[in-house]
Structure 1
């Protein structure tokens, strides 16, 4: 029997400390009265999700995905900034021609150093293409990070275009709902952001459709919302990091393109890490649900017989951690 940090299917970052039960291939006995195999626990382990994500990102497959995120990051930034550079001057001209505002009131905005000269329709098309390309990378990344990420899973590229399109639509609807909630009373938006946190993972791993993915994410997160909110807040804080290089470079003689490029690079790293974290959260919550189905454990206070019936009914496409590892554990 092979042991040690380099043994297949083990990961020191996953197995160390109290968060060891996060890894789907762990077979250590669980706590008395807990789920069999120790693969799951009653609470989402935030530290295990963060540590598991970081350890997977530095592996060769994770590095390859990071390169893909860099590509779509630069492509998306060029497309988006080019769209703004093409549209904003036209909007400014219309406002000046149809209002009492003067040119001094609306000074022209400096275009991003990464913007290129494009017609608005071309820029819009490029934005859509890069958005779908980025969603494709997200789907592949989730399928890699739900496993051990030591090699590319056989199913990583299966049905990719359809899954990416479904994921893009589902996440777009979720984002619209979140922004509507934030605009209304803030708290509903935060609640919806937590509830739909796992939409992409559900689509990528389980092959769910748009509405089933929204419902499935809502169900997986239920009972763990505060811990998922903690994860979301950490991710939101990390997403502020890409804005720092531009501010720092602005105080130096370096060209603005340097700061913008560094921001894209840092943004790609943060995005890849955030995707990995979501994948690891999904594995934990899917494992808890699978264990609850096996033991028939339900929260009677949350819904009595209705909750028991719902927990006993296995969702379409639902996978246990062992099944996830079997399908996405690498070659």
Structure 2
């Protein structure tokens, strides 16, 4: 089945503006603030006292805690973030008619799935980074090919290798259209990467962190819902194709007119 990108965009936006989508937005916003604060706190706490005093003016949102505590807090929130991404995947991948509530399977085998998501995400990130360093196109190709990894893990309860293969198969034939979504993400990252330092240089480091977190959340949640819609299109389309292949029509059984 050919991917209808315009349908994925409109359907993803409808999923985001639902009541459940609003709750997911607020939860993701809280996690992003936690990551930003813990990262700043870890850096500030690990610096020598002289450097920390100078850096504190540009540190943005941070807590007055030791560096080791900041690192521990960052690791914990990273795990919670992966866990939340599993719930996000399962919720956005349910039928549109059921978006008024969370699916009963949203927390199914959550610990196991979160571990798979973390390990698989690390493998994909390293692969994309290596592909980008060597040449930009291999990195982009891998980013597109593994775009549905999380849905294979969270929604289909697959293992790491199986999910990588599943995502690779689902994206086959639609990589150019899906590449547009990946490129949009890169462009958004470039804009945020330019705006945040400008605010920091202007002495508005706290505002820079707030703008980064809010805009990242406002972009990522509908973007992820669009990816979920694209996943459903290709998954259901592939399933229908497989059924028609497995059960071909026997011409001999059709009455002659």
**What range describes the TM-score normalised by the shorter chain of this pair?**
0.7 to 0.9
Whether the 8 Å contact between 1:74 and 1:264 is mirrored in structure 2 is yes
Matched, 1:84 2:43: yes
Aligned with residue 224 of structure 1, among 168, 174, 177: 174
* Partner SS for 2:102: coil
- Report the count of equivalent residues: 241
How do 1:147-226 and structure 2 match up within 5 A? 147=94, 148=96, 149-226=99-176
Aligned counterparts of 1:205 and 1:219: Cα–Cα separation in 2: 16
Distance 1:199 1:277 in 2: 15
C-alpha distance in structure 2 between counterparts of 1:242 and 1:188, whole Å: 24
The CA distance in 2 between the partners of 1:189 and 1:244, in whole Å, is 22
**Structure 2-normalised TM-score?**
0.84
For the aligned residues, what is the CA RMSD? Answer: 2.6
Q: What SS is found at the alignment partner of 1:197?
A: coil
Distance 1:77 1:212, change over 3 A: same
From 213, 216, 238, the equivalent of 2:188 is 238
Report if aligned partners of 2:140, 2:182 keep a CA contact under 8 Å in 1. no
Unaligned runs of 5+ in 2: 247-257
Q: Determine if the alignment matches structure 1 residue 112 to structure 2 residue 62.
A: no
The 8 Å contact of residues 81 and 111 in structure 1, kept in 2 or not, is answered as: no
Seen in structure 2, the aligned counterparts of structure 1 residues 206 and 87 have a Cα distance that, compared at 3 Å, is same
Hey, what does 2:73 align to over in structure 1? Answer: 126
CA-CA distance at 1:87 after TM superposition:
4.0
Q: 2 CA distance for matches of 1:174 and 1:63?
A: 29
For normalisation by structure 1, the TM-score amounts to: 0.66
Higher relative contact order (CA 8 A, sep 6+): 2
CA distance in 1, matches of 2:134, 2:197: 32
